[in-house]
Amino acid sequence: MSTYVVVGLQYGDEGKGKITDVLSAKSDYVVRFQGGDNAGHTVYVGEEKFVLHLLPSGVLQCKGKCIIANGVVVNPKAFIKEIETIESKGLKTDHVFISRRAHVIMPYHILMDTYREEENGGTQIGTTKKGIGPCYEDKIARIGIRMIDLLNPEVLREKIEKNLKVKNSIFEKYFEKPTLDVEEIYNEFLALGERLKDRIVDTELEINEAIRDNKNILFEGAQALMLDIDFGTYPYVTSSSPSTGGVCTGAGVPPTALQNLIGVAKAYTTRVGNGPFPTELDNELGENIRQIGGEFGATTGRPRRTGWLDLVSLKHACMINGINNLVITKLDVLSNIGKLKIATHYKTEDGKVIDYFTSSTTKLYNYEPIYEELEGWEEDITKARSYDELPANAKKYIEFIENYLGINVYLVSVGPERSQNIIRKELF
């Protein structure tokens, strides 16, 4: 019995879904605590590919309950679509529940996100246009609509009316776009509430009871620390806290209940969307890694930017999260690409060498990574299942990361499939 938190340590898409899927087989609960359907978590079961956006990746294997907790922003239509997809593949979903406190992504959030992104032509932040930022804004401004509101016709109508007064005026006057109709949205969301009512519950009670009953509880993060609203590369971030700290507020769990803090990092770095990326390889090698690693967004299909592993940012992410177990994914992608580089320091614009991450996003664009060069390996490692089966240079690569961060790598992932793992220490 224990609690496990799986979080991303880079810019998202580290393979959290795959790891959550593997760990969820032994979990009584799998809980999403932040983000929304901006996430894209891929799980391969044999040849079959599942991409989960809003549902916890545990939905495929967890025998207990899957919970979308209060910190998540929920697009009910996306939720239903995902439930239907999973059910069409013969799997059950009656173990999935949503917090009554979770905020609802409304059509005006999606439009606001889209219009802002498209302002002045081009993309501003490079969001997923799922309405995430505007929904969290309304939550903080205390004008948001919560899942519980979908079950109360009077409250729902009043809130939609109030919100649309302001939003419609922005759409019309500022963006010069059409306005939305109160009646249409009210009817649609009332019907969605009716459809989902049996799944809308007080999740914090159940989660805390499960903690008291010594159940295995897995908290699944979406996005990653470098996209964290406080500790990422602001403003090129998402609007939630994808850190281990986010579990406490996002699921209603006390900090003392969190035990195994599992950080997932790719053996290199990718980023989708705008923002600084010190170790980016904007060249043929970067394109090579993109092709071999299949680095295309699971939610938007956008090509992911690729680059070398950045230990400066990884150290920052491990510090903020208090990671005590590391997972390195996609080591197989680095096979046969020659010498490998790992950033250990940055050189600032005035020539200072530093090994910590900066709060100045603007300055970061001018920082130059300082690399350690490691020998690569040529062998295909996708069939390795024990650490000893890895080539010496692949082991050196892993151990270099461990030594720099002072944290053990407990799992090395060598392929997208469930079984393609090297587990050095069982956590469960």
**Residue (217 or 298) nearer to Mg ion, CB:** 298
Q: According to the annotation, is 104 in a ligand binding site?
A: no
Which residue has the CB atom at the shortest distance from ligand IMO?
Answer: 273
Q: According to the annotation, is 193 in a ligand binding site?
A: no
Please list the residues that pair with 220 across neighbouring strands.
Answer: 6, 32
E strand or H helix that includes residue 288: helix 284-293
Q: According to the annotation, is 348 in a ligand binding site?
A: no
For residue 77, what are its two tokens?
Answer: 């239509």
The reply to whether 36 sits near ligand GDP by the rule CB under 6 A is no
Cis peptide before 153 (omega within 30 of 0): no
Q: Residue for token digits 């320091």?
A: 345
**309-310 and 340-347 strand pairing:** parallel
For residue 109, what are its two tokens?
Answer: 């959030």
Catalytic residue among 109, 129, 139, 266: 139
Site string for ligand IMO, 244-283 (x = CB under 6 A): ----------------------------xx----------
- Which of these ranges, 6-14, 163-171, 186-194, 325-333, lies near ligand IMO under the rule CB under 6 A? 6-14
Annotated active-site residue 350? The verdict is no
Q: Which amino acid is at 206?
A: E
Q: According to the annotation, is 331 in a ligand binding site?
A: yes
Site for ligand GDP in 319-358 (CB under 6 A): 329-330, 332-333
Contacting residue, 83, 102, 218, 222, with ligand IMO by CB under 6 A: 222
The reply to whether 242 sits near Mg ion by the rule CB under 5 A is no
Annotated active-site residue 41? The verdict is yes
Contact call for residues 143 and 103 (beta carbons, < 8 A) = no
CB neighbour class for 426 (10 Å; exposed up to 12, middle 13-18, buried from 19): exposed
Please list the residues that pair with 328 across neighbouring strands.
Answer: 265, 412
Contact call for residues 281 and 306 (beta carbons, < 8 A) = yes
Catalytic residue among 13, 113, 138, 149: 13
Q: According to the annotation, is 279 in a ligand binding site?
A: no
**Residue (216 or 329) nearer to ligand GDP, CB:** 329
Site for ligand GDP in 14-33 (CB under 6 A): 14-18
Alpha-carbon gap, residue 97 to 214, rounded angstroms: 20
**Residue (102 or 265) nearer to ligand GDP, CB:** 265
Catalytic residue among 41, 167, 316, 341: 41
For residue 312, what are its two tokens?
Answer: 């400066």
Contact call for residues 18 and 416 (beta carbons, < 8 A) = yes
Q: According to the annotation, is 413 in a ligand binding site?
A: yes
Contacting residue, 36, 40, 245, 307, with ligand GDP by CB under 6 A: 40
Contacting residue, 104, 298, 320, 409, with Mg ion by CB under 5 A: 298
Q: According to the annotation, is 301 in a ligand binding site?
A: yes
For residue 84, what are its two tokens?
Answer: 């239907």
The reply to whether 13 sits near Mg ion by the rule CB under 5 A is yes
Contact call for residues 363 and 331 (beta carbons, < 8 A) = no
Contact call for residues 29 and 67 (beta carbons, < 8 A) = yes
Backbone angles phi, psi at 378, to 5 degrees: -105, -20
Site string for ligand IMO, 126-145 (x = CB under 6 A): xxx-x-xx------------
Site for ligand GDP in 217-276 (CB under 6 A): none
Site string for ligand IMO, 224-243 (x = CB under 6 A): x--x----------xx----
Report CA 303 to chain centroid distance, whole Å.
Answer: 17
Nearest-CA neighbor of 99 among 247, 200, 197, 196?
A: 200
Measured between its terminal Cα atoms, the distance across the chain in Å is: 8
For residue 146, what are its two tokens?
Answer: 């919560």
**Residue (40 or 276) nearer to Mg ion, CB:** 40
| Contacts to ligand IMO by CB under 6 A | 8, 11-13, 38-41, 125-128, 130, 132-133, 222-224, 227, 238-239, 272-273, 298
Return binding residues.
12-18, 38-42, 128, 142, 223, 238, 298-304, 330-332, 413-415
Active site amino acids: 13, 41, 139
Return binding residues for substrate.
298-304
